[in-house]
Amino acid sequence: MKLPISDRISTMPVSAVRKLAGYASTAKKQGVKVYHLNIGNPDVKTPQVMIDVLRNWKDNPIEYAPSQGETTFVNALVSYYHELGHSFIKDEDIITTVGGSEAIVMALFTLCNPGDEVLVFEPFYSNYSSLASLVDVRFIAVPTSIETGFHLPSKNEIEKRITNKTKAMLFCTPGNPTGTVYTKKEMDILVQIAQEKNLFLISDEVYREYIFEGAPPHTSILSYMKEYPENTIMLDSLSKRYSLCGARLGVFVSKNPELMKGVLKIAQSRLSSGIIDQAVGAKLTEVSQTYLDEVNAEYQRRRDVIYEGLTSINGVSLAKPEGAFYSMVKLPVSNAEKFCIWLLETYRSKDNATVMLAPGAGFYATQGRGENEVRIAYVLNIEDLKTCVSILKDALEIYPD
Amino acid sequence: MKLPISDRISTMPVSAVRKLAGYASTAKKQGVKVYHLNIGNPDVKTPQVMIDVLRNWKDNPIEYAPSQGETTFVNALVSYYHELGHSFIKDEDIITTVGGSEAIVMALFTLCNPGDEVLVFEPFYSNYSSLASLVDVRFIAVPTSIETGFHLPSKNEIEKRITNKTKAMLFCTPGNPTGTVYTKKEMDILVQIAQEKNLFLISDEVYREYIFEGAPPHTSILSYMKEYPENTIMLDSLSKRYSLCGARLGVFVSKNPELMKGVLKIAQSRLSSGIIDQAVGAKLTEVSQTYLDEVNAEYQRRRDVIYEGLTSINGVSLAKPEGAFYSMVKLPVSNAEKFCIWLLETYRSKDNATVMLAPGAGFYATQGRGENEVRIAYVLNIEDLKTCVSILKDALEIYPD
């Protein structure tokens, strides 16, 4: 008896962020200290007002939430978007999701039939690819490059990739994995193309609050949504802003009622997202601006440590990140994935430590691009980041490429 | 500008359990008391040892869990299955999921290519259909009926629906929405067909612990898994057993390593399920047998109230449920969905109350079946259930069909 699994799963790409997890656990079992720069799992504390929701928990039993989202959480999100200046957002424009990942899946399912195309700007968040493959959507890559800080190419460069199968453009600002913040002018161009070519725009704004010195101010798709309610979509998540990755709190925002009806059907088919997590998330309006300012300042200091540290290593180059907490880094190696595996399997610092990175190729759709790049998530404290820089410097010197 | 949503979502069936939610909220806004018999959201208390995990919460930040599942939760599940007598289950045979719903999606994605077929025994859990439609799998219904207590038809009746596109058989025991518990002999037949026809078997055992007087003992697919590791799959959830519906805690169990690798790829693409929920779930080994026994006894008393109450109404018939907490009930109406809407929109008891039911047709794949049936979830206390029975009796008397 031989029962093969489906082609769609056997050919699905493995998450670039998680694919080396097995090597890391083997190293840890050997007593090696592994510094995780591979995944955006922040070490910053979750706001106490959110932790207190758990500590004061009274509800029993733990019942399903409404499929659209727990009312208190949806209302808190409405207030939050109003405070950001988007007072036209109503509760019916919001569906809460199981992390940002589910919001992406829901968008792709609802906008695209099997085989339809979505324009993405590479490098892009690697799990976009895995999720697109699940829902049978083709990602068409518009290349951006380290030399131009991963900012958008010309309107024409984007438009020439649009076919009659293109349904949407998907982008992330501030960018994972690039740290790039699109300017108002870039956002204008995306909106203009979407209008002219009849496309949906999906804006992933999970890192909205992390904008550093030297970056343009953040321009949200929400500032276009009132004028273009039909084709603008905003995806959000509380994971990164409040260090809540393990609470699965994503948000789907649109003012297109037909679209929201479709998304709600998917939400109903899985009944509910987590009610405990949503009760925690509902406290977002009580998190002080000081908390967000301090976290932003901390990530900016880390950005500086990473940028200065890595650019001082021979052969390493990167664009100075403008926001989020990632950077795509070009390394003087022929194959970054092999180097990442070598770091986990073979390299040990004098303190028996190593660094885990995410291989760059998984963040590109174009074959061959990103092969000597890695994504770094600077989600460790400054001392640890300095140690990581020195480990990388040392490792690159002795790496037998 | 007109941007239609995808065909796959516009044609997706709406969840039978949730589709009338809008009518219910309107009634509630009018001050009407709505008794929810439409959804399996138990009123039974969640075990205190689980609630205490929240009240004693210390971890900060709230980080991602491993994609396979939080280690403490996976280990607790291994112990639990060992205690049930299946000591061959290892941690690598388990992937934890965002509720049972995600486990079903993962199974269908991993076993089936678009257009492949899965045999189901109708009536079946209505969200199976919505989820199958999402992943583009065709459900082929094997009919069972109220007259035979929804037990399986002959081997031949099942086999004649198998084609070269059939990949699996999916069933639920104890059954949602039927309350039927398959006998050892029925399970033997399913396993035999799967072996002979080279099919996967997906056994949804979410209601395992709820088996009532008069029912056959529960036969788990786990008791076949050691002998048939390649094609047996068990889906589980903590929602119903520990009243944890709002904590999204599902489980995918298989001893087929290739299959588990595929499921893990999907799990990695969404990074993690909720770590707070999993910490709560990890206490399942500390829940006393007394808790489960008492809950089982309570549901049995409710079963008796519902069965005796409803069979005493003229024209109403149902099979006596053997387990779970559902029943498919035949009503003396021409269209049960219209009756359900009428209950929410128009009917009011003398105490300004009404009952919400799930229309039966959504639990069938065969056009026309189930149109005069409803699913009842007896998840309210006995007093409330008696009130519901009397509301239904009264409503049926005056319903202008």
What's the pLDDT tens digit per position in B83-138? 999 999 999 999 999 999 999 999 999 999 999 999 999 999 988 989 999 999 99
Map residue B338 onto helix, strand or coil.
helix
Closest by Cβ to A134, choosing from B55, B109, B247? B109
* Interface membership of A271 toward B (CB under 8 Å): yes
Q: What is the DSSP track for A327-368?
A: EEEE-SSS-HHHHHHHHHHT---TTSEEEE-EEGGGG-SSTT
Q: Are B112 and A6 in contact (CB < 8 Å)?
A: yes
CB < 8 Å to B277, chain A: 274, 276-277
Residue among A64, A196, A238 with most chain B CBs within 10 A, to mutate: A64
* Interface membership of B116 toward A (CB under 8 Å): yes
pLDDT grade for A26, boundaries at 50, 70 and 90:
very high
Q: Report the alpha-carbon distance of residue B105 to residue B132 in Å, rounded.
A: 8
- Over chain A, what is the mean pLDDT? 96
Cβ–Cβ < 8 Å for B123, B326:
no
A224 has pLDDT over 80: yes
Residue B1 maps to a domain: no
A365: Cβ contacts below 8 Å, ≥ 6 apart: A120, A122, A124, A129, A139, A140, A141
CB < 8 Å to B116, chain A: 6
Are residues B296 and B276 both part of a single domain? no
Q: Are B280 and A276 in contact (CB < 8 Å)?
A: yes
Are residues A163 and A282 both part of a single domain? yes
* Interface membership of A6 toward B (CB under 8 Å): yes
Map residue A35 onto helix, strand or coil.
strand
Buried-exposed string B4-39: b where 16+ CB fall within 10 A, e elsewhere: ebbebbeebbbbbbbbbbebbeebeeeebbbbbbbb
Q: Report the alpha-carbon distance of residue B208 to residue B282 in Å, rounded.
A: 18
> Residues A129-185: pLDDT tens digits?
899 999 999 999 999 999 999 999 999 999 999 999 999 999 999 999 999 999 999
Amino acid present at B379: V
Return the residue matching tokens 């500390």. Answer: B286
Q: Are B276 and A276 in contact (CB < 8 Å)?
A: yes
In B198-333, which residue ranges form alpha helices assigned H by DSSP? 222-225, 257-269, 275-281, 289-311
Alpha-carbon distance values, A253 to A86, A250, B98, B155, B181 (Å):
12, 10, 22, 49, 43
Are residues B318 and B389 both part of a single domain? yes
Last residue of a domain, one of A254, A286, A318: A286
Residue B216 maps to a domain: yes
Cβ–Cβ < 8 Å for A250, A96:
yes
Closest by Cβ to A272, choosing from B19, B134, B246? B246
DSSP E strand boundaries for A123-260? 138-143, 166-172, 200-204, 232-237, 250-254
pLDDT at A1: 63
Closest by Cβ to A42, choosing from B61, B66, B111? B61
Q: In angstroms, how far is the first alpha carbon of chain A from the final one?
A: 44
Share of residues in chain A with pLDDT > 90 (%)? 94
Return the residue matching tokens 């650019």. Answer: A311
**Least Cα separation, residue B205 to chain A (angstroms):** 17
CATH assignment at residue B276: 3.40.640.10
Q: What is the ipTM of this complex?
A: 0.94
pLDDT at A394: 97
pLDDT at B203: 98
Two structure tokens written together for B121? 């025994």
pLDDT at A270: 94
| Cβ atoms within 10 Å of B371's Cβ, excluding its own | 16
pLDDT at B1: 63
Q: Report the alpha-carbon distance of residue B126 to residue B235 in Å, rounded.
A: 16
Are residues A34 and A165 both part of a single domain? no
Are residues A69 and A214 both part of a single domain? yes
Window 210-269 of B: residues touching A by CB (8 A cutoff) are 230-231, 243-248, 256, 258-259, 262, 265-266, 268-269
Amino acid present at B173: T
Last residue of a domain, one of A252, A286, A320: A286
pLDDT at A18: 78
Are residues B91 and B148 both part of a single domain? yes
Helix (H) or strand (E) run with residue B355 in it? strand B353-356
Q: Are B130 and A99 in contact (CB < 8 Å)?
A: no
CATH assignment at residue B380: 3.90.1150.10
DSSP bridge pairs for B169: B119, B201
A16 has pLDDT over 90: no
Last residue of a domain, one of A286, A301, A316: A286
Are residues B338 and B215 both part of a single domain? no
Q: Are A21 and B66 in contact (CB < 8 Å)?
A: yes
Window 51-70 of B: residues touching A by CB (8 A cutoff) are 51, 54-57, 60-67
Q: Report the alpha-carbon distance of residue A267 to residue B388 in Å, rounded.
A: 29
Are residues B96 and B179 both part of a single domain? yes
| Cβ atoms within 10 Å of B192's Cβ, excluding its own | 11
pLDDT grade for A14, boundaries at 50, 70 and 90:
confident
Q: Report the alpha-carbon distance of residue B43 to residue A223 in Å, rounded.
A: 43
Residue A2 maps to a domain: no
pLDDT at A294: 94
Q: What is the mean pLDDT of each run of 10 residues along chain B (401 residues)?
A: 87 84 94 94 93 98 95 98 97 97 97 97 93 94 96 98 98 97 98 97 96 96 97 97 96 97 95 97 96 95 97 96 96 97 97 97 94 95 97 97 85
The helix/strand count (H/E) of chain A reads as 14, 13
Are residues B351 and B282 both part of a single domain? no
Residue B2 maps to a domain: no
Q: In angstroms, how far is the first alpha carbon of chain B from the final one?
A: 43
Structural domain for B356, as ranges: 7-45+290-398
Closest by Cβ to A98, choosing from B9, B98, B243? B98
> Residues A320-360: pLDDT tens digits?
999 999 999 999 999 999 999 999 999 999 999 999 999 99
* Interface membership of B275 toward A (CB under 8 Å): yes
* Interface membership of B164 toward A (CB under 8 Å): no
Residue B392 maps to a domain: yes
Are residues B274 and B356 both part of a single domain? no
Are residues A132 and A236 both part of a single domain? yes
Residue A50 maps to a domain: no
> Residues A251-289: pLDDT tens digits?
999 999 999 999 999 999 999 999 999 999 999 999 999
Q: Report the alpha-carbon distance of residue A254 to residue A344 in Å, rounded.
A: 43
Could you tell me how far CA A114 lies from the centroid of its own chain? Answer: 24
Are residues B12 and B80 both part of a single domain? no
Tell me how many domains chain B contains: 2
Cβ–Cβ < 8 Å for B234, B253:
yes
Share of residues in chain A with pLDDT > 70 (%)? 100
**CA nearest neighbour of A280 among B191, B215, B280, B352:** B280
pLDDT grade for A401, boundaries at 50, 70 and 90:
confident
What distance separates the 2 farthest-apart alpha carbons in chain A? 62
Window 353-382 of A: residues touching B by CB (8 A cutoff) are none
Q: Are A66 and B21 in contact (CB < 8 Å)?
A: yes
Residue among B56, B63, B235, B241 with most chain A CBs within 10 A, to mutate: B63
